[in-house]
């Protein structure tokens, strides 16, 4: 008797259904890891009803990545000892090690200690741990084989695609969180450790790719905080909240999140600032009397503006208004003229002028408004490093004098000479610059 061959369209339809079911089962088991193992049990970022806990425990077993207790213990150790020898999958040991090597090679040193006493008290976690092997077989191979086989006759496709191949994809998806998420992307919240944020990593890990945020705020149920960032695990948890299956979703205070972002932005600005040449700090400039300033102005083109003495020799021929405007203010206080009396100069002019400073006039800035005005625009928002220094007792300070009144201090016997107009080297802060002063014996 001749056997009627199966219709090619039916075979094609069965293959499409198997492929669709494989993707669906991939999402189910991946969420068992990301929403269950990771965000619920390892980090306790939200609470779940018993029904949701059971489902996530089953789905997580289908991912074939160990029990909840085993997985969470390793992950908590990873967060506690990030990038150290006690980190089970430290990124510093290489991309291959952090991806799979830590599972294939017995490490010389055991991972760091992590507390999982809370999980040991959870009945569902204990149940899943005790029956893990049976749950693994059921969720990873039996169900993915039986459903396609019974519903559209594709037992082999169900076992191979929805079972074995799907399991491999879930494995590498999770492994990418340990490897790719520590190598690819940016660090918008903190760069102390290796975790990074990147869309590609989020795409292959069900939203776990915003890893820099996660390591800074591990108890937040979100990995992505912007509405457009890809984080289906977050959307799943929110959907469960709407259905009454999840509650007490934890989110780190937005104000503190913004602090982390601002800190990194300021750090980048500081790096740019260090590559720019800045004027000498006023503390590094010599203090000069009015008489000495006028005397030295006879041999050098010096102008006084906002209490600072400027050597304009290199700029006289370049002045847009002509050399004569500068020449008539040599040896004089040109503050009023510079700040709008003659022409209200631009920010660029203020910044350029500050680079010509060679001295500070003694008693030249009496008013607070004058002191503020003397700061060039480019330095009003400049990023500085602050170092903690040991407290000094008055007697130990080199500036200490037993005479409390400044009036009783004798004036210097010889007037200090003006510094040469030198610029700090790029990449150096002003406190590292050696002030170049004219030799006292040199004639000006």
Structure confidence at residue 385 (pLDDT): 56
Between 50-62 and 123-130, two packed helices, what is the crossing angle to 10 degrees? 30
Give the dihedral sign, CA 171/174/176/182.
negative
Residue 438 has pLDDT above 70, yes or no: no
Asked whether the predicted pLDDT for residue 131 surpasses 60, the reply is yes
> Are 377 and 347 spatial neighbours (Cβ–Cβ below 8 Å)?
yes
User: Which residue ranges make up each domain of the chain?
Assistant: 8-268, 282-383+414-432
What are the φ/ψ torsions at residue 372 (nearest 5 degrees)? Answer: -65, -40
Size of the chain in residues: 444
pLDDT band (50, 70, 90) for residue 370: low
Task: Tell me how far apart the alpha carbons of residues 432 and 423 are, in angstroms, rounded to a whole number.
Answer: 12
What integer pLDDT is reported at residue 161 of this predicted model? 95
Q: What is the mean pLDDT of the chain?
A: 83
pLDDT at 238 over 50: yes
- pLDDT classification of 393: cutoffs 50, 70, 90: very low
Instruction: Specify whether the CB–CB gap between 299 and 444 falls below 8 A.
Output: yes
Q: Are 207 and 7 in contact (CB under 8 A)?
A: no
pLDDT at 380: 66
At 323-363, the pLDDT tens digits run 888 888 898 888 888 887 667 788 888 899 999 999 999 87
List the single range of 202-216, 290-304, 424-438 with lowest mean pLDDT.
Answer: 424-438
- When pLDDT is averaged across residues 283-304 and rounded to a whole number, the result is 90
186-234 pLDDT, tens digit per residue, is 999 999 999 999 999 999 999 999 999 999 999 999 999 999 999 999 9
136 vs 235: CA distance, rounded Å: 26
Q: What is the pLDDT of residues 75-109, one digit of tens each?
A: 999 999 999 999 999 999 999 999 998 888 877 77
For residue 218, how many other CB atoms are within 10 A of its CB?
A: 17
Q: Which of 56-60, 199-203, 313-317, 392-396 has the lowest mean pLDDT?
A: 392-396
pLDDT exceeds cutoff 60 at 159: yes
Nearby residues of 392 by Cβ (< 8 Å), 6 or more positions away: none
CB contact at 8 A, 358 and 418: yes
Residue 415 pLDDT grade (very low, low, confident, very high; cuts 50, 70, 90):
low
Is the CATH number of domain 282-383+414-432 3.10.120.10? Answer: yes
Tell me the whole-structure pTM to 2 decimals.
0.76
Reported as type and span, the H/E element at residue 323 is helix 323-327
pLDDT higher than 50, residue 45? yes
Q: Is the pLDDT of residue 237 over 70?
A: yes
CA atoms of 308 and 360, how far apart (whole Å):
5
Q: Report residue 321's pLDDT band, with 50, 70 and 90 as the boundaries.
A: confident
Which pLDDT band, with edges at 50, 70 and 90, does 259 fall under? very high
């Amino acid at each position: 008797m001749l056997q009627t061959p199966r219709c090619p369209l039916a075979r094609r339809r069965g293959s499409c259904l198997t492929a669709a079911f494989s993707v669906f089962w991939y999402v189910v088991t991946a969420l068992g890891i990301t929403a269950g193992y990771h965000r619920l049990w390892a980090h306790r970022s939200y609470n779940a009803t018993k029904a949701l806990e059971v489902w996530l425990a089953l789905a997580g077993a289908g991912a074939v990545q160990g029990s909840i207790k085993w997985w969470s213990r390793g992950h908590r150790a990873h967060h506690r000892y990030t990038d150290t020898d006690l980190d089970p999958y430290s990124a510093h040991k290489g991309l291959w090690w952090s991806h799979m090597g830590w599972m294939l090679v017995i490490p010389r040193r055991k991972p760091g200690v992590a507390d999982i006493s809370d999980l040991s008290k959870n009945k569902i976690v204990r149940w899943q741990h005790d029956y893990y092997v049976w749950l693994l077989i059921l969720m990873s191979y039996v169900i993915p084989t039986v459903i396609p086989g019974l519903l559209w006759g594709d037992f082999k496709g169900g076992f191979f695609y929805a079972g074995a191949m799907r399991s491999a994809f879930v494995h590498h998806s999770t492994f990418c969180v340990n490897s790719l998420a520590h190598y690819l992307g940016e660090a918008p919240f903190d760069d102390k450790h290796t975790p990074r944020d990147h869309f590609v990593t989020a795409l292959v890990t069900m939203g776990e790719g915003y890893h820099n945020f996660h390591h800074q705020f591990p108890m937040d149920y979100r990995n992505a905080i912007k509405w457009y960032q890809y984080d289906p695990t977050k959307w799943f948890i929110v959907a469960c909240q709407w259905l009454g299956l999840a509650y007490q979703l934890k989110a780190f205070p937005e104000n503190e999140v913004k602090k982390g972002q601002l800190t990194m932005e300021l750090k980048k600005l500081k790096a740019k600032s260090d590559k720019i040449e800045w004027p000498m700090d006023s503390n590094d400039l010599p203090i000069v009397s009015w008489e000495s300033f006028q005397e030295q102005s006879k041999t050098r083109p010096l102008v006084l503006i906002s209490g600072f003495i400027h050597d304009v020799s290199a700029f006289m021929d370049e002045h847009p208004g002509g050399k004569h405007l500068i020449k008539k203010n040599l040896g004089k206080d040109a503050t009023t003229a510079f700040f709008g009396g003659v022409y209200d100069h631009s920010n660029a002019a203020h910044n350029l002028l500050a680079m010509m400073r060679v001295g500070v006039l003694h008693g030249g800035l009496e008013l607070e408004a004058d002191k503020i005005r003397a700061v060039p625009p480019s330095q009003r928002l400049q990023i500085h490093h602050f170092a903690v220094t040991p407290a000094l007792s008055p007697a130990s300070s080199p500036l200490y004098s037993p005479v409390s009144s400044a009036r009783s201090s004798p004036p210097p016997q010889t007037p200090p000479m003006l510094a040469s107009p030198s610029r700090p080297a790029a990449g150096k802060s002003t406190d590292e610059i050696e002030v170049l002063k004219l030799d006292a014996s040199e004639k000006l």
